[in-house]
Amino acid sequence: MQTVKPMRTVAVLAAVITLLPATVPQASELELERCEQPMGTLAVVEPQDQYMRTLRQFELQSPTSLIRMMVQESNCFVVVERGMGMRNMMQERELAQAGELREGANVGGGQMVTADYVLSPEVVISQRDAGGVSGAVGGLIGGRSGRMLGGVAGGLKFSEAKTTLLLADSRSGVQVASAEGNARETSFNVRALGGASGIGGTLGGYSNTDEGRVIAAGFADNLNGIVRLVRADPGLQRDVSAALGGEPATAGAVFNPGDVVRPRIDNVRLLAGPGDEGNVVATLSRRDDMIYLGEERDGYLAVETSHGGGWVRKLLVGN
């Protein structure tokens, strides 16, 4: 009987690649889940260093801006700033505390919206035969469950990647949901976010490279999973009415009745009434203690001091 020799691996792969275009379905575009009302406020944090090192190998920057745009587009959560913009926000508050901003600027304490949830991204990439034939075939014919594989033959620098989003309750610190990416034969239209155009530069390759688009599709799939989990559990949904336009907080720091406060500078006037037209009861130094009586009117606080009771301008008072 004639012995049949096994075919060489390269020949098998070449045959598979020849057959794939006729058998693999066309890639479908992944759509984001949409919500009529947000289910909570959410902050997206930067990936840990090991994940950032992985992304930089493919000239991809942090995915936080991309994910925040996805969340905002879905309308399923209200995004709160906890990234680079936080520095500018804190700078404005420092200027307000120093009395440098115009009266009525209203950027003092008690203004910021609480993040109900913290969303953490992760990405793990396998570079087995990176850019080679086996990577292309693996991306086209699939792999283990939970894997998001590259679907462009010869177009990717990695063979497979897995993305994950972890959702934690910011009050308890408990992880309440997680989702892994699975976008083997799907794509996500990054440029369609918010109807924007020409955003490839701001998203660091997630809209204009094969690697970036595959990873973006994974995070979009992750977000859809998170949304479905929260939507299915009313206990995880939060009231966002305050974040969407509740009554503005009073300008300046927040004090409680009975707090001991002091003037920020010397020669602060203690007035008989809540306004500049009131009679001057005393002139206070930075060393004078004042007891806040719990009443605020027209930007003035009612206080009791060793010089008697009266009103002081709130912007000139601190703990």
Task: Check if the beta carbon of residue 78 is closer than 8 Å to that of residue 40.
Answer: yes
Give the pLDDT of residue 83. Answer: 59
Task: Check if the beta carbon of residue 224 is closer than 8 Å to that of residue 33.
Answer: yes
- Element (DSSP H or E) covering residue 124: strand 117-126
302 pLDDT band, cuts 50/70/90, is very high
Which one, of 173, 171, 167, 197, lies nearest residue 67 by Cα? Answer: 167
Buried b / exposed e along 4-24 (16+ C-beta atoms within 10 A): eeeeeeeeeeeeeeeeeeeee
User: How far apart are alpha carbons 98 and 119 in whole angstroms?
Assistant: 34
222 pLDDT band, cuts 50/70/90, is very high
127 vs 73: which has the higher pLDDT: 73
Task: Check if the beta carbon of residue 17 is closer than 8 Å to that of residue 136.
Answer: yes
Identity at 22, one-letter amino acid code = A
40 vs 25: which has the higher pLDDT: 40
195 vs 43: which has the higher pLDDT: 43
205 vs 112: which has the higher pLDDT: 205
Token pair of 207, please?
A: 């809209």
Give the pLDDT of residue 119. Answer: 94
What confidence tens digit (pLDDT) does each residue in 33-42 have? 999 999 999 9
Give the pLDDT of residue 202. Answer: 57
**Strands laid side by side in the 280-284 sheet:** 280-284, 268-271, 308-313, 300-305, 290-297, 260-263, 317-318
What share of residues in the chain are helix, strand, coil (percent, to 5)?
A: 30, 25, 50
What confidence tens digit (pLDDT) does each residue in 90-133 have? 566 666 666 665 555 555 555 667 889 999 999 988 765 544 33
CB atoms within 10 A of CB 298: 10
Mean pLDDT of the chain: 74
Q: What is the mean pLDDT of residues 67-79?
A: 92
Pairing of strands 117-126, 280-284: unpaired
Q: What is the mean pLDDT of residues 14-26?
A: 33
CB atoms within 10 A of CB 155: 16
75 pLDDT band, cuts 50/70/90, is very high
Q: What is the mean pLDDT of residues 198-218?
A: 74
What confidence tens digit (pLDDT) does each residue in 139-197 have? 333 333 333 444 443 467 777 788 999 999 988 889 999 998 754 545 677 777 755 44
298 vs 20: which has the higher pLDDT: 298
Which one, of 21, 58, 29, lies nearest residue 186 by Cα? Answer: 29
What confidence tens digit (pLDDT) does each residue in 241-295 have? 766 665 444 444 667 788 899 998 999 999 999 988 778 999 999 999 999 998 9
Domain architecture of the chain: domains with CATH: 9-236 (no CATH), 260-318 (2.30.30.40)
Is the pTM above the cut of 0.85? no
